[in-house]
């Protein structure tokens, strides 16, 4: 009996070795085997598949995938005051990979609680938990695969306005999840400068700030 396959893992999941076996959207790809490597909070798999190249030849390939679920993030902006509301928190993976202190400035967001949870529902919840703001209308910007070479995650990007009327509590994240989140309000132009200096080095945040400058609330004629 193996957790995640025929007995529930810590998140109550089974059949994790079946994911991908029923894919038929691309006739040039034939999945042969899926092997579960680990299933703690996230899921690691090795998949063996046949791939038909452009010249018609077939090769057998093997890829590892990291499945952490899908996510959503949102840019909070005040168009009148020309500010954005971001967060700062410790991220161990970037700390161990060369970031000076591991403290990243980011747009708020997080993972979907369930596979069928709508990203807008998830991002509203995460924004409220992290920043203390309960937003009204949200604008869907785009959906992006952030690291398609190995990570399955698809992130949905949103934007919404904030102000005194949207502040409903203190924010800062959830203690039970070990979150210690600082809220950072910045002039929009200062945030753009921080991309150039490397003070903002988070991909989703850079993408939303650049969208805001090119097409969003801070677009100039």
Pick from 54, 62, 67, 208: which is nearest to 141 by CA?
208
Alpha-carbon span 220 to 213, nearest angstrom = 7
pTM of the model: 0.93
What pLDDT is stored for residue 192 in this prediction? Answer: 97
pLDDT of residue 13: 85
pLDDT less than 70: residues of the chain? 173-179, 221
Question: What's residue 173's pLDDT?
Answer: 63
Q: What is the pLDDT of residue 166?
A: 94
CA 156, 161, 167, 172: dihedral to nearest 10 degrees?
40
């Amino acid at each position: 009996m193996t957790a995640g396959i025929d007995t529930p893992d810590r998140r109550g999941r089974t059949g994790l070795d079946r994911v991908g076996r029923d894919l038929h959207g691309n006739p040039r790809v034939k999945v042969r085997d899926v092997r579960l490597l680990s299933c703690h909070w996230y899921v690691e798999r090795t998949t063996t598949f046949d791939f038909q190249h452009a010249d018609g030849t077939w090769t057998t390939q093997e890829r590892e995938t990291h499945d952490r679920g899908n996510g959503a993030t949102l840019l909070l902006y005040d168009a009148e005051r020309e500010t954005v509301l971001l967060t700062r928190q410790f991220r161990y993976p970037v700390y161990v990979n060369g970031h000076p202190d591991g403290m990243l400035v980011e747009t708020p967001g997080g993972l979907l609680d369930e596979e069928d949870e709508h990203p807008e529902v998830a991002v509203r919840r995460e924004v409220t938990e992290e920043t203390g703001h309960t937003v009204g209308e949200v604008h869907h910007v785009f959906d992006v695969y952030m690291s398609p070479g190995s990570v399955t995650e698809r992130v949905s990007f949103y934007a919404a306005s904030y102000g005194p009327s949207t502040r409903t509590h203190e924010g800062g994240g959830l203690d039970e999840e070990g979150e210690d989140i600082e809220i950072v309000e910045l002039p929009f132009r200062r945030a753009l400068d921080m991309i150039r200096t490397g003070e903002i080095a988070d991909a989703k945040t850079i993408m939303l700030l650049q969208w805001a400058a090119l097409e969003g609330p801070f677009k100039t004629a």
